[in-house]
């Protein structure tokens, strides 16, 4: 645990069917209340403790927790989990997990059941249940919401020096910072935050530690802004598949390593593709300084139930992750996945609904309506284009040519919607496959010299004068049969990262 049975690290290494069962005995530690936390269970989970049903959850990528105090005893406890993953049901949000027996094309081995950490937490009866933070960079303030009952004291510090203090009843409040230090990838400075909860007698009942980064993102005049200044995003596509564990990293250091590998190649962020990643990866993005686009795993067959499931799970994901400074964009949909067979009116209604839902949940970040093409309302115009260097150079020399569909390309906007001045970013391109290995890529290159020549041509085409304000290269690592990574699936480099870095950081020409 928590590796799925399809993975080698689980010790099973095969697809178990659509229903799996787990059982474990456990003891409880001292504490008034006992909470059982599940990082992620794909797809439907039912949990019993000592024969008492304590939880049901639907959604394979988001966490859930349950207070099991009423069901536990001092010793000899048993937890049972039933997980159902309906493989053939393409109305379930599943991203790149394939619904057939053998992975092929852009789809990979599925993940069934528990695939993120499960842990037991013992807490005092009066405790902090949740913390949500929203920073205001311009005013040097932090708005917070603390879910608890009682009186609070919040203390923010920077480099060990207290820079804000607040006390009052639990709920909402605002910290005014005496010292304003910006977070950015080149200098990921973070503030420490301590939250203390007191009972009626003034005694400390609970205490938690957290952090925040002070930064803002936005758009203006066709450019992406970080902390009020134009900023070119140089992202890499990261699908989050790990050696031996599939969607689950073998260790915390593996999560950190992927960010360090990307930064070594000159990238300042990643588009996390068709996966809600383990929150520990987001922690390392915050600490190491790495921009993140968060993307919802898609369903692949449209129904009303599919819309409802995806929207509910996406809301859980945004609420969980919106306090991370590293996240700079939300992408609830990708390439009209699951919507190809419906008419434009249905497609547009659903995409607009997702855009508006995301903006209601978080108005501080750009929302991408449908990454790749067929946008509706969108704060970024993101395009997928696997053309050659010459083709990219021709296509992105002006805004007009960038937004004109040609050949088999999909239209950038659905009928009835148009570009409204939002920044243009090419959020998938490249996909170069090096050598004669098995598997596939979007373009084969024979050796290191040809790779570097083509890669330079692609980056320069996008960084030449024109409307493109950022890019996302496909991709960081190989994934199963898809062999177009800068690194192998085992994280061995194919090309010296220092050579890639020099090209990745080609300045934008104006």
Same domain, 88 and 146: no
Question: What is the per-residue pLDDT for 405?
Answer: 72
Question: What is the per-residue pLDDT for 408?
Answer: 52
Same domain, 457 and 496: yes
In a domain, 312, yes or no: yes
Same domain, 245 and 335: yes
Based on the structure, what is the number of domains in the chain? Answer: 3
Q: Mind listing the pLDDT tens digit for each residue in 272-294?
A: 999 999 999 999 999 999 999 99
Same domain, 152 and 112: no
| CATH number of the domain to which 77 belongs | 2.60.120.260
Q: Mind listing the pLDDT tens digit for each residue in 102-139?
A: 999 999 999 999 999 999 999 999 999 999 999 999 99
Question: 177 and 214 in contact (C-beta within 8 Å)?
Answer: yes
Same domain, 205 and 238: no
Same domain, 81 and 184: no
Q: Mind listing the pLDDT tens digit for each residue in 4-59?
A: 999 999 999 999 999 999 999 999 988 899 999 999 999 999 999 999 999 999 99
Question: What is the per-residue pLDDT for 407?
Answer: 46
Same domain, 63 and 161: no
Same domain, 117 and 194: no
In a domain, 128, yes or no: no
Question: What is the per-residue pLDDT for 376?
Answer: 98
In a domain, 368, yes or no: yes
Nearest C-alpha neighbor of 307 from the set 353, 369, 365: 353
| 95, 123, 151 - which closes a domain | 123
Same domain, 184 and 241: no
190 secondary structure, DSSP code = -
Rounded mean pLDDT of 489-499? 97
Q: Mind listing the pLDDT tens digit for each residue in 48-87?
A: 999 999 999 999 999 999 999 999 998 899 999 999 999 8
In a domain, 217, yes or no: no
Q: Mind listing the pLDDT tens digit for each residue in 180-207?
A: 999 999 999 999 999 999 999 999 999 9
Q: CB under 8 Å to 246, separation ≥6 — which residues?
A: 3, 4, 6, 7, 108, 109, 111, 115
Q: Mind listing the pLDDT tens digit for each residue in 424-439?
A: 999 999 999 998 878 9
Range of the domain at 452: 228-504
Same domain, 246 and 304: yes
Q: Average model confidence (pLDDT) for the chain?
A: 96
| 76, 93, 123 - which closes a domain | 123
Question: 36 and 49 in contact (C-beta within 8 Å)?
Answer: yes
Q: What is the 3-state secondary structure (H, E, C) of 1-55?
A: CCCCCCCHHHCCCCCCCCEEEEEEEECCCCCCEEEEEECCEECEEEEEECCEEEE
| CATH number of the domain to which 337 belongs | 3.20.20.80
Does residue 152 register a pLDDT over 60? yes
Same domain, 240 and 308: yes
In a domain, 236, yes or no: yes
Same domain, 63 and 119: yes
Give the position of tokens 């007009």. 400
């Amino acid at each position: 645990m928590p590796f799925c049975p399809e993975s080698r690290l689980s010790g099973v290494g095969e697809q178990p069917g659509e229903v799996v069962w787990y059982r474990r005995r456990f003891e409880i530690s001292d504490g008034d209340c006992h909470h059982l936390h599940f990082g992620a269970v794909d797809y439907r989970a039912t949990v019993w403790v000592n024969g008492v049903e304590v939880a049901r959850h639907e959604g394979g990528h988001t966490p859930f927790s349950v207070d099991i105090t009423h069901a536990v005893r001092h010793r000899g406890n048993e937890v049972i989990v039933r997980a159902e993953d309906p493989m053939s049901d393409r109305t379930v949000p599943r991203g790149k997990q394939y619904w057939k027996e053998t992975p092929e094309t852009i789809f990979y081995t599925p993940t069934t059941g528990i695939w993120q950490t499960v842990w037991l937490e013992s807490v005092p009866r009066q405790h902090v249940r949740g913390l949500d933070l929203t920073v205001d960079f311009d005013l040097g303030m932090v708005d917070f919401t603390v879910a608890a009952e009682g009186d609070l004291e919040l203390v923010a510090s920077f480099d060990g020096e207290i820079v804000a203090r607040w006390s009052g009843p639990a709920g909402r409040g605002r910290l005014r910072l005496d010292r304003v230090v910006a977070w950015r990838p080149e200098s990921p400075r973070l503030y420490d935050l301590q939250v203390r909860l007191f009972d009626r007698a003034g005694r400390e009942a609970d205490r938690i530690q957290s952090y925040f980064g002070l930064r803002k993102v936005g758009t203006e005049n066709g450019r992406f802004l970080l902390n009020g200044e134009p900023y070119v995003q140089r992202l890499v596509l990261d699908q989050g598949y790990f050696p031996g564990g599939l969607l689950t990293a073998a260790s915390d250091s593996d999560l950190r390593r992927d960010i360090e590998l990307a930064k070594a190649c000159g990238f300042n962020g990643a588009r996390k593709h068709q996966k809600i990643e383990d929150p520990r990866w987001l922690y390392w993005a915050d600490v190491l300084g790495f921009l993140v686009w968060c993307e919802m795993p898609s369903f692949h067959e449209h129904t009303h139930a599919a819309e409802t499931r995806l929207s509910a799970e996406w809301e859980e994901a945004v609420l969980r992750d919106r306090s991370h400074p590293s996240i700079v964009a939300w992408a609830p949909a990708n390439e009209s996945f699951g919507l190809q067979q419906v008419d434009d009116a249905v497609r547009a209604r659903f995409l607009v609904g997702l855009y508006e839902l995301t903006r209601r949940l978080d108005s501080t970040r750009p929302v991408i309506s449908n990454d790749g093409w067929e946008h509706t309302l969108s704060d970024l115009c993101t395009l997928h284009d696997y053309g050659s260097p010459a083709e990219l150079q021709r296509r992105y020399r002006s805004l007009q040519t960038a937004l004109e569909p040609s050949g088999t390309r999909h239209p950038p906007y659905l009928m009835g919607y148009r570009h409204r001045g939002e920044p243009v970013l090419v959020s998938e391109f490249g996909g170069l496959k090096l050598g004669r290995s098995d598997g596939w890529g979007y373009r084969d290159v024979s050796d290191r010299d040809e790779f570097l020549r083509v890669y330079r041509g692609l980056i320069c085409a996008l960084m030449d004068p024109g409307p493109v304000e950022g890019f996302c290269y496909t991709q960081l690592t190989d994934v199963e049969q898809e062999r177009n990574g800068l690194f192998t699936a085992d994280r061995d480099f194919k090309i010296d990262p220092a050579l890639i870095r020099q090209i990745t950081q080609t300045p934008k020409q104006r």
